[in-house]
Amino acid sequence: MSTNGAVWGRVRSRLRAFPDHLAACGAEASAYGKCVQASTAPGGRLSKDLCVREFEALRSCFAAAAKKALMGST
């Protein structure tokens, strides 16, 4: 049971850091949000991979922010 507790501790730690990582990627998050919003506006058609370029930029930024924070905590 203690092993399971350790796993959940790491998960909680990562979830707590999520807002900080997201804040580091404001421009990318904004671009992705605008793409999705434009696609769901009246007359827009949201479909798979429509905003893939913006999503990949956000994902890359988020991964870099998380890695940077991980490297800084060791």
Cα R_g (the chain), whole angstroms: 16
Which residue type sits at 52? V
- In terms of Cβ atoms closer than 10 Å to its own Cβ (0-12, 13-18, 19+), residue 43 is exposed
Note down pLDDT in tens along the chain; length 74 residues. 456 778 788 788 878 887 877 788 999 999 999 999 998 888 878 888 899 999 999 999 989 988 887 776 55
CB 31, CB 54: distance < 8 Å: yes
DSSP string, 33-48: HHHHHHHHSTT----T
* Amino acid at site 34: K
